[in-house]
Amino acid sequence: MNKAKNKSMEKDLVILAGKSAYYHIRENGLSESDIRIVLGASGAAKWLTIQALDSVLFSQWFKDRKEPLYLFGTSVGAWKFAAVAQKDPRRALDRLKDAYIHQSYRGLFTPAKVSGESRRVMRLFLSGAGIDEVLSHPFIRIGFSAVKCKNVLASHRHVVQGAGIWSAFELNLLSRKLQGLYFERTMFHDPRYDTAVMDMTDFRTGFIALTPLNFSKALLASGSIPLLMEGVTGIPGSPEGVFRDGGLLDYHPVFPMKPGSEKFILYPHFYPYLVPGWFDKKLTGRRAHGSLVDRVILVAPSPEFVARLPFGRIPDRQDFIRFKKKDGERIQAWQKAAEMGRILADAFMEAVDGGCIKDRVRMIS
């Protein structure tokens, strides 16, 4: 690779690390055997920007792994992990990407319509055989979460839900801990998952083993945005209740590793920072830092890369509204953003294989 191209790639990918992870990389570089956990954030269409990065990680970098690799995601982070844990992760991710990009809505957006389209997307990338592959994967152990809603947020009525969302937002301004009044984290996981690999005691958490019978409903619940989608009920093996988007509580999920851990958390992300909960998006003081990210390695597109994307920004679900009745323009822009993501994939592999990650890594502030 010529030096000019190498320098260009360095500017495209941000590599950040918590204190322990930073010093490890500075001294040793980074290999796939250093990673114990991979995390995946909520963010809907934002994921398209790093789809190619996810693809190269699981189809190449982790390909020959022997020891268990624990995945945890919410919303689209959960959906992409249901793709990468299939036998052919590259093709499964491509199916998810193409199905997501080609969503189409006519007339008013209704919860029934959006939930129906989400089920269609799921059918296109995740078959019954695919679920069996996920739950019998030789080294991947998948986990993801939804929230069991309490009080008014369990209502199916739009107006009542809206009042609950507003109340949860206001309480969150006082303390993130108060989200426990409305949401209970429920982690759905491969039966082989070590549920103690991360410390999830910040909120009450229920643990439900995944099976071929409950997988699809649990995955749908993890991405069921309130007001926009129907809540999910009747998940086999789960307590009664209404389950919604896991990103409400864990928007960019991040948890400390259990004490004594010597390995690290890899976080392919579309932002160079982590926002704990959905209601924390505008609260810059809530961004994850310190001991919470001590063993986290965050890789994300740089501002320079984002500026070259269509419209100079990362795709998001508001594009469905911006380009209403202009699906062709949205699809073209989203496809271009996904194609450009190959630059990030190449930049990561060049950094770890060539060893220059030692010099490029920066500490999470």
Residue 6 has a pLDDT of: 54
Could you tell me which of 7, 14, 106 has the C-alpha nearest to residue 301? 14
Domain ranges of the chain: 3-363
**Coil/strand/helix, residue 23:** helix
Binning pLDDT at 50, 70 and 90, where does residue 116 land? very high
**Percent of the chain's residues with pLDDT above 70:** 98
Residue 107 has a pLDDT of: 84
* Residue range 86-108, pLDDT digits in tens: 999 999 999 999 999 999 898 88
CB atoms within 10 A of CB 156: 11
- Contact call for residues 86 and 60 (beta carbons, < 8 A): no
Residue 365 has a pLDDT of: 85
Distance CA 220, CA 38 (A): 20
- Contact call for residues 265 and 38 (beta carbons, < 8 A): yes
CA distances from 7 to 10, 52, 205, 353 (A): 5, 20, 45, 16
Binning pLDDT at 50, 70 and 90, where does residue 348 land? very high
CB atoms within 10 A of CB 223: 27
* Residue range 123-158, pLDDT digits in tens: 999 999 999 999 999 999 999 999 999 999 999 999
* Residue range 227-269, pLDDT digits in tens: 999 999 999 999 999 999 999 999 999 999 988 899 999 999 9
Judged against a pLDDT cut of 80, whether residue 110 lies above it is answered with yes
- Contact call for residues 73 and 43 (beta carbons, < 8 A): no
Distance CA 143, CA 74 (A): 9
Binning pLDDT at 50, 70 and 90, where does residue 10 land? confident
Q: Which residue has the higher pLDDT, 20 or 325?
A: 20
**Percent of the chain's residues with pLDDT above 90:** 93
Residue 298 has a pLDDT of: 98
Judged against a pLDDT cut of 90, whether residue 57 lies above it is answered with yes
Q: What predicted TM-score, i.e. pTM, was given to this entire model?
A: 0.96
Distance CA 229, CA 112 (A): 7
Pairing of strands 296-301, 264-268: parallel
Judged against a pLDDT cut of 70, whether residue 4 lies above it is answered with no
Could you tell me which of 8, 101, 97, 103 has the C-alpha nearest to residue 52? 97
